[in-house]
Amino acid sequence: MKEEYMTPQERMNAAINLKKPDRVPIAPIIGMDLPATYYGLNIAELHREPIKAVEAMVKFFDEFGGWDGYSTLPLVKIGYILGGLKFKAPGQELPDAPGYYGQFDEGEWMKVEDYKTIADIGWGKFVANEYIYRISDWTPEDVEENRKKYFQFALKGGEEYTIKRKMGMRTGANRVHPFFLLSLNRSLLKFTQDLYYRPELVEAALETMTDGLIKSTIAQCKGNGGNVVFVPEERAEGAIYPLKIFERFWWPYTKRIVESLYDEGIITWLHLDQCWDLNIPYFKELPRASCIIDLDGLTDIFRAKEILKDHLCLMSDVSGSLFSIGSEKQVEDYVKKLIDKLGVDGGHILSSGCEVPPNCRPENFRTFLKTGKTYQLSRE
């Protein structure tokens, strides 16, 4: 079998820049829920002490032989609240019992009148000044303490992954897409009503939020040396909205984000859950190799490859159901299919469709890694 000859960094960069890597880079999204379940740790405790979540994740990374790309940091409650998202955690709002994991608490927490405030002062200040106290029971002292805790935890994640383990993709920032943030905080129905019946209010907020996202991402990446920003979105796609909505409220802002960050040497990792089949052709308008299109199994990734080949890197989509209830053979066959059909000349990062679930069968995850690491090299 042919030997590997690239570092994880070189391998990831090659794939993102549409050049041939020695083998397909592997970058599954793994939060804390899978490692915690695997090691029998208490999820409620990890939400209270996020540093322990990072420790569990890196232990898991080492035990399974590692991979190439940086996972996002574990999604702990304080991270969500600080970012302006209401959250339910085991041991707090959910039972401290097996089978319970932290989840977004979507609702109409944000009111129509908040759009103007957001347009005037931006999302960050809106959250810090008032909204954080609406979606949590924190005091200003709690906010300060949790900020410090989150900073230490992010630092620890960076040290463990980037410095000690020399991970290939350095995620300098995580930013929920402005459209998705508003949808989650207004609730899908109310936000949809806003889009159709109060479009100017939404647009004004999106303008300010987009500018804020770009500015804060550049500052954060300059500070920590990261060159990728993780931007999740699962509400703007053609499964929910017609193209007239997508074209007015999502695409121009996304284009501005990707182009502005690319000018600063930052790659946007667009984490696109749900079915984006209708929207995929739009991404051809973005600069070549300016972002990663990360799909979750509901979008036809093979069709997306046909449309975006030689233009943008795709991150693939081994589904949560395959990881959790599929057989090793099914996982192996699907990973081989991805490598065969998406090609080996760059533009593909092998990954999970959204996060590898907490009840993933360990043997399936091993098969995913092993097939990804050896299949292509064994044939060349």
Partner 1 sequence: MTSDLTNNLIELEREKVLSEVKERLNQNEDPMKIFEECKQGMELVGEKYKKKEYFLAELMLSGDLFREAMELIEPYLGEKKVEGDIKGKILLATIQGDIHDLGKNILATLLKLEGFKVYDLGVDVNPDIIVEKVKEIQPDFLGFSSLLTITFDPMKEVIDKLKEVGLRDKLKILVGGGITTPLVKDYTGADFQTIDAMEGVQYCLEIIRTRIVVKARGGI
Q: Which residue lies nearer to partner 1 by CB, 45 or 105?
A: 105
**Residue 57 corresponds to which tokens in the numbers above?**
């994740």
Does residue 230 bind partner 1 (CB under 8 A)?
no
Among 112, 240, 307, 377, binds partner 1 (CB under 8 A): 240
Angstrom distance (rounded) from CA 286 to CA 255: 7
Nearer to partner 1, 95 or 287 (CB): 95
Task: Single out the residue of 61, 101, 283, 368 in contact with partner 1 (rule: CB under 8 A).
Answer: 101
Q: Which residues in the 46-85 window bind partner 1 by CB under 8 A?
A: none
CB closer to partner 1, 25 vs 232 = 232
- Residues 6+ away with beta carbon under 8 Å from 27: 12, 67, 68, 69, 70, 71, 168, 169, 315, 349, 350, 351
Neighbouring CB atoms inside 10 A of 244's CB total: 8
291 interacts with partner 1 by CB under 8 A: no
Between CA 108 and CA 186 the distance in angstroms is 4
- Which 319-348 residues touch partner 1, going by CB under 8 A? 319-326, 330
Paired strand residues for 231: 270
* Closest to partner 1 by CB, 261 or 301: 301
Kindly tell me which of 95 and 223 has the beta carbon lying closer to partner 1. Answer: 95
Residues 178 to 197: which contact partner 1 by CB under 8 A?
188-189, 192-193, 195-197
Closest CA to 326 of 314, 338, 335: 335
Task: Give the Cα separation of 125 and 75 in Å (integer).
Answer: 22
Q: Is 241 in the site for partner 1 (CB under 8 A)?
A: yes
Q: Does residue 150 touch partner 1 according to CB under 8 A?
A: no
**Counting contacts by CB under 8 A, is residue 357 touching partner 1?**
yes
Contact 330, 28 (CB under 8 A): no
CA–CA separation, 135 vs 142, rounded Å? 13
Instruction: Kindly tell me which of 316 and 376 has the beta carbon lying closer to partner 1.
Output: 316
Question: Is residue 245 a contact point for partner 1 (CB under 8 A)?
Answer: yes
Tell me how far apart the alpha carbons of residues 132 and 89 are, in angstroms, rounded to a whole number.
16
d(CA 235, CA 274): 8
Number of residues counted as binding partner 1 (CB under 8 A): 40
32/218 with CB nearer partner 1: 32
CA distance 249 to 184: 15
Q: Which residues bind partner 1 (CB under 8 A)?
A: 88, 94, 99-101, 103, 105-106, 188-189, 192-193, 195-197, 238-242, 245, 273-275, 296-298, 319-326, 330, 357-360
